[in-house]
Structure 1
Amino acid sequence: MHDPLRIPGVLDAVRRVWEGQPDLTLPTLFAMLANRGVGWGAGDEDLLRELAAMERLHPGELPLVDARVTARFLLHTDGPAHRVMVDPWRVVVRRPGVTAQPGVWRYATLRAATVGGPLVVTSAEGIDHRLGVLTRITLIDDAPTSTVATLDGRRRRDQGDAVYLLSLTDDTTLLLSHGLDVFRAGRRELQHETRSWESLVTCTPGHPLVVQPPGGGPVVEYASVREILVVEG
């Protein structure tokens, strides 16, 4: 007979994974495990291994050390909806479906954050930012670097799920995904436009941003790149 004392530990591992993705039904969670090879005949060790991998990618609680993260995470919230990238250096806050420039700021601390609870970030200036109810935590990179050294030669077809934030020396901000959102501060209001792109001819801090549009048209040159940040992917 298998040791019955193992059962509470196994069920606790299932609970933690489910708490990290509470929108899933339990049968859906079991189906996801089956797709990972944990089905009829699998052992408890196999189950625990795959549950640990799932919990690492989507934890139910944001891992904090001294009220800060040591990895890079994407946080989804509701009420209002935000997509928040947080890493050891900064937060980047976006509003899905809203053509507003992403907010980028240094932070001092994060309050304990669990899926289903509030997300509160205290800025370096000591201001509490309440960013809604946390609905999902996704690990992006467990050993991140502060900035990206270069995106020279990046092609849109190779972009995948990655999203980058480019800040230029003329204070223009660009959000690079499968499109290119350009934000410029006008005299009275923020100017926003969305452009298509095929590749980045040059995209390295200290050098002009040069973008090749689709169809082989003339390249578009912007001001010099100040900084490249990972937002997703």
Structure 2
Amino acid sequence: MSAPRIQAVILDLDDTLFDHLESARRGLARLVEELGATLDPQTAAAWERTAEHLKGRRHAGEIDRAEYRRLRIRHLLADLGRPEEAATADDAQCDRLYDRFLEVYEEEWVGFADAVPTLRALHDRHLPVAILTNGPEERQQHKVRALGLAPWVAGVWTSERLGAKKPDPATYLAVCTALGTDPGAVLHVGDDLENDLRGALAAGLPALQLDRRRRVLAGSARIAGLDEVLGRV
């Protein structure tokens, strides 16, 4: 028996439609400029490595959200060649600098170049598109509006709104219900292996993993660009 024809598409937001890495680098460059320096590739890479390391510590319960942010700023100051300032910066100063980073990061939000064209093409094919994202309601809705995605989607469903996170099957199924479409006819696409591929497949949706960096690109369930979705529907 052949697979049902795709009647709707669910897309992830962060690192699928929204380019978090580029947005963060632009915001960091502005923060570093305000600190009287110029961002170089080594410092940008160190900022990202530090984030991954500290996320691990935070998930392990070793540090809380506030300490995560303060340590990122102290590491940044050290990476900018200011070890004494990094050692003596108090919590209030670190908090101010991280808050400023978040401000300029938001001002630099950018979507991937293929995001709007793909959404527009799906819209022209009369395929409803929904966004399903593990994130806070207000911020994720703001991203969708700021990136010009809102006119092309049927709605945005966040983990905060649903009370559950991907890969919980209830999240995908809730969106399918809202779209009025059987899960087997709803294609789910996103960058995360667990949340956007395995989780969706387990919930009964066909799914594709978007691997823009071609890190593990292999097999029929992976694509390297969002526009490749158009050849799958």
- Same fold per superposition (TM over 0.5): no
In terms of fraction of residues, the more strand-rich structure is 1
Q: State the TM-score, normalized to the length of structure 1.
A: 0.26
TM-score scaled to structure 2, two decimals?
Answer: 0.26
Quick check: which has more Rg, 1 or 2?
1
Q: Which has the higher contact order (CA 8 A, sep 6+)?
A: 2
